[in-house]
Amino acid sequence: MKWINEKAKTLQQGAIRAMFDRANKMTGVISLGIGEPDMSTPKLLCEVCKEALDKGITHYTPNAGLLSFRQAIAEKSHLKDLNYDPHTEIIVTNGGMGALSLLFLVLLNKGDEILIQDPQWLNYVAQVDYCDGTAVRVPTDFAHNFEMQPETIENCITPNTKALIINTPNNPTGSVMTRDTMEKIAKLAVKHDLMVISDDVYNTLLYDGAEAPCIASFPDMKQRTMIINSFSKSFAMTGWRIGYAAGPAEIVDRMTKCQENFNACANAPGQYTCAVALDHPELSEELRQIFERRRAILLEGLAKIDGIRFNEPKGAFYAFADISSFGLSSVEFCNRLLDEQKVVCIPGSAFGECGNGFIRIAYTCLDEKLYEALDRIETFCRSI
Ligand SMILES: Cc1ncc(COP(=O)(O)O)c(C=O)c1O
């Protein structure tokens, strides 16, 4: 079509969507592919939203978001000890993705390089490419629990490197970066004068005593860190599209101007609701406990399947399992698993070259479905 520009023509459907398109043509499928909480938003929050609508909170908000909400983020979110100024250093966005896209729009000149883990949730790469930046992948491996190693990062740094993205707990691996590695990465960022984009959207979903400190809390880091977060995973609110970014005032100011011109603001009743959500961490904890139980079911089931290897994921709701012993690529494995046993998993190669030989398994379905899916995976593995 002649009206579409060259850049838009390069946009591709992601491999995750492609799996779902295949699965949608079948019946009796169990999906371990979905990267969102399967449960509905907590009732209390839905009631708060109704109240917002009744109160007439249905108008545009300031471009940076309702000030009361930004204040709540500064005082009650994981940023509370870091003294972010809600007037200048926080912007409310259309989910975490909205924050990332505004950020890349204001950050990137042609050829600027952004370091992104491999394997990693791929939308970063797509957004960076679209904004004329260059995504440089930092390889990781099973032996190091898919954690970016400071020496490997350093080898990827060039004079064009502008920023490094970290995402812990991680999608797709479920890995949680150790404090020690985070400290080393922070020092590296200071040494090479890099910005760090810290995508914290899974940071309420931690297990086995794992912790996810905020990289902005390390020495000299606050002024070079942009925090991305949202309510999608922590409060089962993916469809509400509420997220935020917190970081240096000059960048937040540019992102706010960008938001003014592109989409005005995030939805008003959602902002009102999420401000109240911050008073109810127990709602988020309830979700975490459900995922903790399912994680135990999944790991116990996987451990019984000959040929599958995995590191125990300490966060998010994913396991990243090594299926290379079966002699199939991860795409072949997932396609055949779907065709023969009607279970959706996502090929690890969808997240980068280093994901080949692995599959991402999301435990975002009911316990009984998870048990049934594990039986089917075991049957499939035995058959090959
Ligand atoms: C690592 C990561 N970051 C950000 C997001 C975006 O979430 P949202 O835009 O719903 O806040 C996702 C969603 O899957 C994700 O996996």
User: Mean of the pLDDT values across residues 294-320?
Assistant: 98
Q: What would the pLDDT profile of 328-349 be if each residue is shown by its tens digit? A: 999 999 999 999 999 999 999 9
Q: Which tens digits make up the pLDDT trace of 227-239?
A: 999 999 999 999 9
pLDDT for 32 beyond 90: yes
Tokens standing for 154?
């350093």
Q: Answer whether residue 101 shows pLDDT above 90.
A: yes
Cα 285 to averaged position of ligand 1 atoms, centre (Å)? 19
Residue 19 pLDDT > 90, yes or no? no
Q: How many Å apart are CA 136 and CA 129, to the nearest integer?
A: 10
Q: Which residues line ligand 1 (CB under 6 A)?
A: 35, 95-97, 121, 167, 171, 199, 201, 230, 232, 238, 243
Using the mean position of ligand 1's atoms as its centre, give its distance from the Cα of residue 235 in Å: 13
Q: Please say whether the beta carbons of 39 and 288 come within 8 A.
A: no
Q: What mean pLDDT comes out for the span 133-156?
A: 97
Tell me whether the CATH fold assigned to 6-41+282-378 matches the one assigned to 58-279. no
Residue 1 has a pLDDT of 87
199 C-alpha vs ligand 1 centroid, how far in Å?
8
Tokens of 294: 């399912």
Cα of 94 to ligand 1 centre, how many Å?
11
Residue 15 predicted with pLDDT over 90: no
pLDDT confidence bin for 18, thresholds 50/70/90 = confident
The two three-digit tokens of residue 251, written as one number: 């960048």
pLDDT at 16 over 90: no
User: Which residue has its alpha carbon closest to ligand 1 atom 1?
Assistant: 171
- What atom of ligand 1 comes closest to residue 229's alpha carbon? 11
Domain spanning 58-279, CATH class: alpha beta
Residue 262 is predicted with a pLDDT of 96
Closest atom of ligand 1 to CA, residue 242: 11
Contacts of 369 (CB under 8 A, 6+ apart): 30
**CA of 243, closest atom in ligand 1:** 11
Over residues 58-100, the pLDDT tens digits come to 999 999 999 999 999 999 999 999 999 999 999 999 999 999 9
Distance 242 CA to ligand 1 centre (A): 11
Q: How far is the CA of 195 from the centre of ligand 1 (A)?
A: 20
The pLDDT of residue 250 is: 98
Least confident of 8-17, 92-101, 179-188: 8-17
| Closest by CA position to 16, among listed 38, 33, 36, 37 | 33
Domain 6-41+282-378 falls in which CATH fold? Aspartate Aminotransferase, domain 1 (3.90.1150)
Q: Is the pLDDT of residue 17 over 90?
A: no
| Domain boundaries of the chain, sorted by first residue | 6-41+282-378, 58-279
Query: Which tokens in the block code for residue 350?
Result: 């969808």
Predicted local distance difference test score (pLDDT) of residue 14: 79
In this prediction, residue 364 has a pLDDT band, given cuts at 50, 70 and 90, of very high
Rounded to an integer, the average pLDDT of 373-380 is 98
Residue 98 Cα: closest atom of ligand 1: 9
Q: For a pLDDT cut of 70, what percent of the chain falls above it?
A: 100
Determine the residue of 101, 104, 121 to mutate for testing ligand 1's pocket, defined as the one with the most ligand atoms within 8 A of the Cβ atom: 121
Sorted by sequence, the CB contacts under 8 Å of residue 339 that are 6+ apart come out as none
Residue 342, CB-side half-sphere exposure with 13 Å CA sphere: 9
Asked if residues 236 and 37 have their Cβ atoms less than 8 Å apart, the reply is yes
Pairing of strands 358-362, 318-322: antiparallel
Q: How much is the average pLDDT of 38-59?
A: 98
Backbone torsions φ then ψ of 326, nearest 5 degrees: -85, -5
42 has a pLDDT exceeding 90: yes
Residue of 128, 175, 233 best suited for mutating to test ligand 1, as the one with most atoms within 8 Å of CB: 233
Q: Give the mean pLDDT of 163-184.
A: 98
Report pLDDT for 92.
98
Q: Which atom of ligand 1 is nearest to the CA of 316?
A: 16
Tens digit of pLDDT for each residue in 267-300?
999 999 999 999 999 999 999 999 999 999 999 9
